[in-house]
Structure 1
């Protein structure tokens, strides 16, 4: 009879999970005894880096990634990026080692107490199998749950002595888990769009996850609908140079109402649309506005403050909407509806601002290069000067937690070999997971790490002004040398401290075939 290890590896091969992201500990080592040549192990120097790399890889491949952590200590280190994977709706199968079953009653060194409870509520399902021979079935269930919309991480705790136990064969089963819209509901939504005077479409990250970029363009053009990006959306979902693109909704109750004013029908895709970052007052939606919410996450539908919700994946819903006969030709919506932001002024480089850096990066990069962003204070300038023009070329954190962007760029580069990845990071953000540079160097990945160095947590200063605070504690970041940090991890680095140095630095990093880092000093 085969062992648990033999059967599990065969199952992982069937599920196409042959890349393992991990940081090995003693309780995990038996899993990798006689590790097969067709598997690869991607090591991260800290577990938050491991989770971030797996998240980027899973988003890039659109399939579940396999993570291997070390007992409670490793899971604890990874929880910040596990929370981000949960908010990103990223399919992950997270495994963690557990001490031998025979000594669990004695609370042994490096064991996991109540292992299945620890990662909750940021996993869809978690367990520690009752018997060693149940490990393959538990991993299969974890994969199936992770890949059922809404996607998300799952967790399996595996005792160290399970791997060599005998195990009967186990075969993966075919599971169809698509979320298709109810015909009557989607027909009612189609009628509402057809009858609209001034429709709008709000696109969220679900459009990108479901590969529905071209379908949104087709629907918007059919209805001459203005298209806005949902607050804090973590994916690119519509070309920002399209004539119908109308900008970004802010994560503020009053701003969302103002941004949707004048529209009688709003279709929100892959939401959430009413996502808030600060307290607000008044109505959540414009008066008289008929709102339709379509996405695969029933929780988003449940807590949305208004509108009619259809739980479905965006590509299925858009296929159904586009299958209806087109409505009579509608005139282009009067502009501005909502107020369309004027083109930003061209910056002359008299100051090294984050806006100038974004402008120059937009000029230098290829439109199909992949932006992974974690520079919170630079998001506004990025919207103004660095438009996203192609599908699957923008990724950021949906949770707001830091430490995701740098390792996610590594995972995306592994998932999309041959594509240029640009990690656009704040200096504070980069330090949460700087160890991810090591994996980029070991795998020689074509990533340009662009560190926007302003010497402080700038986003907190924005909020400090909102709260009327003149002084903030613990927000300064003196003495950081990112070129030295990069070189210490095996990544070449250089600085751009003035505008006239930026052009050459961008040409150098964007032209490189391996990982490089540019530290940009921001005024």
Structure 2
């Protein structure tokens, strides 16, 4: 039984509860609304590492990245009003990405509530549609109860973010000597029933062209190994959903590609050709299904087995022939244990699907001085297989997703929410979490400046990261849509950028600008040899708007 033997402040109880939950790192931007917590953290600085960030959006994104990397809730502390609203982007990302995260928000004192006090917001109402649970703690004696529930909720079923609002006076209030700290939260596994696995075996036996799609939250390296074993034994190609490319080794013969934004047409055709779809963990959202056109809800022409940790997700959009409420780890283990063989009978199907994927790695000839496909491929060849790759949102990400085959879990950190500005803070969290692994953060010029100030955090904590900024002088994704819908009517998408390399040097990093691929290798070696973090600014052709499309081609098609 855990109890406090002396009277303590609410903030001391809170920090003791965090230790009880196994918290070892907190990302924050300090605020006066939770100063007692900072004071309490001072006494446990050898047990909890406090990472001070430069903007709350960066702190929340770092907490999300930590949650993705470890499977444990990432922890973020922000102040009220502007702090919480800045951090909301990370909460939205954690929700859509199914990442466990707990954010604590300082709040006005209880005596000030409902008067629109300084920076007052009803955070339970504000975060209700963005989080799994949002609440306010108005009694310091109940802090252990709320914190345990927050961690349990963040981990349960489909993982996600929880927000707790902390009125500043409860943090200073003295609490009685006997306060139970509770027990650590635990992720609960739910497995398919024997009847469900038997039905799946029957569907597999009748199938000639099964195909599997994996994604969602609660994944692990072990789940990936079980899926590979299942796919090998039964002869099933495996595709990954949006930005879940590292769930299975991309070099494996059963891997067939990535159902991300602008998925390979050959893979889309294979999904439509399949007679049995086994979907594990993925929600089958808008991006993964090409706007619900590749797989049209509510009923598919293929037989659908949908396995998801949240039973309320099953049947929400797609009506499966065999729905299973099960967590990814337990479901993958059950699939790996299924008896039967199908590899020989489906060998040609698997080989054809994998060959389609391998063709996507072929780089078309480019007349550009700096071909981003070439640059990404050279980086991949130079760095270790377990390098952690981060990115935000933008057309530049298409080159990363296509030309960087992922080999280990977890080596990809990218927002399925499509949030710009994710890559830089995620890289900082990744390097602090795994200091012995290489970390590369990709960003576009627009994406980088949304959280580029976290270069200061990288410098402050000696996080040796390689930042790669693709600079084409525009918001590329929006320009692509603009050129398609309103050709030759460019407005609001051009950017006048700083000298990114000089900006990096101003933060104390190594910085270089590369305009020709002939300069790339030498610049890369100098960057990797630098004592600290480094930034490579890659100046790319603004006419090359995506992996497969140029602005000129878009205009020609639009005006035809």
Flag whether TM exceeds 0.5 (same fold): yes
Does structure 2 conserve the Cα–Cα contact (< 8 Å) formed by 1:252 and 1:275?
A: no
Which residue of structure 1 lines up, in the alignment, with residue 439 of structure 2?
A: 421
Which residue of structure 2 lines up, in the alignment, with residue 119 of structure 1?
A: 127
Which residue of structure 2 lines up, in the alignment, with residue 79 of structure 1?
A: 88
Q: 5 Å matches for 1:484-523?
A: 484-512=502-530, 514-523=532-541
Does structure 2 conserve the Cα–Cα contact (< 8 Å) formed by 1:186 and 1:320?
A: yes
Q: Report which structure shows greater RCO (CA 8 Å, sep ≥6).
A: 1
CA shift for structure 1 position 166: 2.5
1:333 matched to 2:351? The reply is no
CA shift for structure 1 position 421: 0.7
CA distance in 2: counterparts of 1:283 and 1:80, whole angstroms? 29
- 1:472-516 Cα deviation digits (max 9, x unpaired): 322111232112222233322111111111101222333445321
Bigger drift between 133-142 and 389-398 goes to: 133-142
Which residue of structure 1 lines up, in the alignment, with residue 169 of structure 2?
A: 161
CA distance in 1: counterparts of 2:333 and 2:431, whole angstroms? 30
CA shift for structure 1 position 468: 4.6
Which residue of structure 1 lines up, in the alignment, with residue 316 of structure 2?
A: 303
1:264 matched to 2:281? The reply is no
Of 382, 407, 410 in structure 1, the residue corresponding to residue 428 of structure 2 is 410
Unaligned runs of 5+ in 2: 1-6, 542-560
SS at match of 1:333: helix
Q: 5 Å matches for 1:46-61?
A: 46-61=55-70
Which residue of structure 1 lines up, in the alignment, with residue 337 of structure 2?
A: 323
- 1:427-483 Cα deviation digits (max 9, x unpaired): 111111011111111111121111111111111222224425332322111232112
CA distance in 1: counterparts of 2:209 and 2:68, whole angstroms? 34
Which residue of structure 1 lines up, in the alignment, with residue 550 of structure 2?
A: none
CA shift for structure 1 position 191: 2.7
Query: 1:113/1:328 Cα in 2 relative to 1: closer, same or farther (>3 Å)?
Result: closer
Does structure 2 conserve the Cα–Cα contact (< 8 Å) formed by 1:206 and 1:295?
A: no
Of 8, 15, 21 in structure 2, the residue corresponding to residue 9 of structure 1 is 15
Of 289, 296, 306 in structure 1, the residue corresponding to residue 302 of structure 2 is 289
CA shift for structure 1 position 118: 1.4
User: What TM-score comes out, normalization by structure 1 length?
Assistant: 0.92
CA shift for structure 1 position 234: 4.0
Query: 1:105/1:195 Cα in 2 relative to 1: closer, same or farther (>3 Å)?
Result: closer
Query: 1:211/1:328 Cα in 2 relative to 1: closer, same or farther (>3 Å)?
Result: closer
Of 29, 39, 50 in structure 2, the residue corresponding to residue 33 of structure 1 is 39
Does structure 1 conserve the Cα–Cα contact (< 8 Å) formed by 2:29 and 2:79?
A: yes
Number of equivalent positions: 521
Unaligned runs of 5+ in 1: none
Does structure 2 conserve the Cα–Cα contact (< 8 Å) formed by 1:199 and 1:223?
A: no
CA RMSD in angstroms, aligned pairs only: 2.6
Query: 1:194/1:510 Cα in 2 relative to 1: closer, same or farther (>3 Å)?
Result: farther
SS at match of 2:149: helix
SS at match of 1:261: helix
Of 49, 53, 63 in structure 2, the residue corresponding to residue 44 of structure 1 is 53
Does structure 2 conserve the Cα–Cα contact (< 8 Å) formed by 1:444 and 1:515?
A: yes
Of 239, 242, 258 in structure 2, the residue corresponding to residue 248 of structure 1 is 258
CA distance in 1: counterparts of 2:58 and 2:377, whole angstroms? 30
CA shift for structure 1 position 163: 1.8
Does structure 2 conserve the Cα–Cα contact (< 8 Å) formed by 1:367 and 1:389?
A: yes
Bigger drift between 28-37 and 504-513 goes to: 504-513
Query: 1:106/1:202 Cα in 2 relative to 1: closer, same or farther (>3 Å)?
Result: closer
1:239 matched to 2:249? The reply is yes
Which residue of structure 2 lines up, in the alignment, with residue 190 of structure 1?
A: 201
Does structure 2 conserve the Cα–Cα contact (< 8 Å) formed by 1:207 and 1:315?
A: yes
Query: 1:250/1:157 Cα in 2 relative to 1: closer, same or farther (>3 Å)?
Result: closer
CA shift for structure 1 position 222: 0.7
1:92 matched to 2:93? The reply is no
Which residue of structure 2 lines up, in the alignment, with residue 273 of structure 1?
A: 284
1:213 matched to 2:231? The reply is no
Bigger drift between 210-219 and 270-279 goes to: 270-279
SS at match of 1:228: strand
1:228 matched to 2:267? The reply is no
Query: 1:425/1:257 Cα in 2 relative to 1: closer, same or farther (>3 Å)?
Result: closer
Query: 1:189/1:466 Cα in 2 relative to 1: closer, same or farther (>3 Å)?
Result: farther
- 1:69-112 Cα deviation digits (max 9, x unpaired): 111221111112221111111111111111222333543323x2
SS at match of 1:284: coil
CA distance in 1: counterparts of 2:25 and 2:62, whole angstroms? 11
Query: 1:269/1:95 Cα in 2 relative to 1: closer, same or farther (>3 Å)?
Result: same
Query: 1:366/1:462 Cα in 2 relative to 1: closer, same or farther (>3 Å)?
Result: same
Bigger drift between 164-173 and 271-280 goes to: 271-280
User: What TM-score comes out, normalization by structure 2 length?
Assistant: 0.86
Query: 1:281/1:153 Cα in 2 relative to 1: closer, same or farther (>3 Å)?
Result: closer
SS at match of 1:157: strand
- 1:367-417 Cα deviation digits (max 9, x unpaired): 111111225313433344221122211121010121212111111111112
- 1:280-308 Cα deviation digits (max 9, x unpaired): 65862897421211122445423333423
